[in-house]
Structure 1
Amino acid sequence: MSSANFRLIRNPFGRLVFTGADGTTHEAVVPVRAFPIGAPDDGIALVSVEGHELLWIDRLEQLPGDVAALIRGELESREFVPEIRRIRGVSSFACPSTWDIETDRGDAKLVLKGEEDIRRLGRERLLIADTHGIQYLVRDLTALDRGSRKILDRFL
């Protein structure tokens, strides 16, 4: 895919505007990741407000820098998946329990209602859902400190 095949800009209202190779313009397009956790920069669709796929992007790095930056910015503004860096403590090893955590977005408390809300995404990756529907990511279990891993082991 070359940048000559389409054009992507942000309009004065902050919405993405896509112009295809045929000259057709679509306002308020939305980028959607196919694999948001496992391969966030691979497989991204630009979708119209009607839900039609306008463009498939195999790899974000194949795009010109300014276009990739627009798409990344839009994705980051819509996606909220804090990454757990450290688990300071839990109120109880029985569920429900309140976890005191440190994330890439600041300190937080999450309430885990059951062990089934901890999903494995491969050997070293976890997705933890709290009672408010927020998804927390543990990108790499081995990168966590020993205390955090010990707490997680009690729930896995």
Structure 2
Amino acid sequence: MASTTFTLSRDTFGKLVMTAEDGQVFEGVAPVRAFPIQSPDEGISLVLGNGKEVAWIERLDTLPEPARSLLQEELEGREFMPEIARVKSVSSFATPCTWHVDTDRGETQFVLKGEEDIRRIGATSLLIADNHGIHFLIRDMFNIDKTTRKILDRFL
């Protein structure tokens, strides 16, 4: 189904319920981004627990309220990917090592197990996985401070 004509609500348990234009009700739908880093507001699929797609949304900003707000809430609750603004220090240039960073969600530290946990995403972005599986994003490695860039160069 490739439609954006539907309504969204929450049931008593807080799960999303989608009602299609034809009246068909889908309980427990979950939004999934097709391109979560490069185009987070484009290409969003609403899927059931078994993975079946029940709706496709070309652009989030084309949805009427309250569906847009409900989807944004749900996506924010499901996705946790802090964006690194600055690497303050690393305990060592050999792995495993502890990174002290400033993110868009505050200051934190994490353990980088190996250099293979730093992946390039596109031409300028990096995705760094810590030892707990949390992913940190560096949106543009060429548009950050010199200290951070110098540290990243040692690991890339």
Both proteins in one fold, TM over 0.5? yes
> C-alpha distance in 2, partners of 1:77/1:128?
20
> C-alpha distance in 2, partners of 1:93/1:49?
42
TM-score by length of 2: 0.93
SS at match of 1:54: strand
Q: Conserved in 2, the CA contact under 8 Å of 1:2 and 1:63?
A: no
Q: Deviations over 1:105-142 (max 9, x none)?
A: 11111111111111111221000011111110001113
Question: How far has the Cα of 1:73 moved from its partner?
Answer: 0.6
1:113 and 2:142 matched: no
Q: Which residue does 1:52 correspond to in 2?
A: 52
Q: Conserved in 1, the CA contact under 8 Å of 2:28 and 2:48?
A: yes
Question: How far has the Cα of 1:2 moved from its partner?
Answer: 7.9
Q: Which residue does 2:95 correspond to in 1?
A: 95
Q: What root-mean-square deviation, in Å, do the aligned CA atoms of Structure 1 and Structure 2 show? A: 1.5
> C-alpha distance in 1, partners of 2:149/2:55?
41
TM-score by length of 1: 0.93
Question: How many residues align structurally?
Answer: 155
Q: Conserved in 1, the CA contact under 8 Å of 2:16 and 2:27?
A: yes
Q: Which residue does 1:136 correspond to in 2?
A: 136
Letter matched to residue 46 of structure 1: L
Structure 2 residues not aligned, in runs of 5+: none
Identity %: 57
Question: More helix by proportion, 1 or 2?
Answer: 1
Structure 1 runs (4+) deviating above 3 angstroms are none
Letter matched to residue 97 of structure 1: C
Question: How far has the Cα of 1:28 moved from its partner?
Answer: 1.4
CA separation of 1:2 and 1:127: change in aligned 2, threshold 3 A: closer
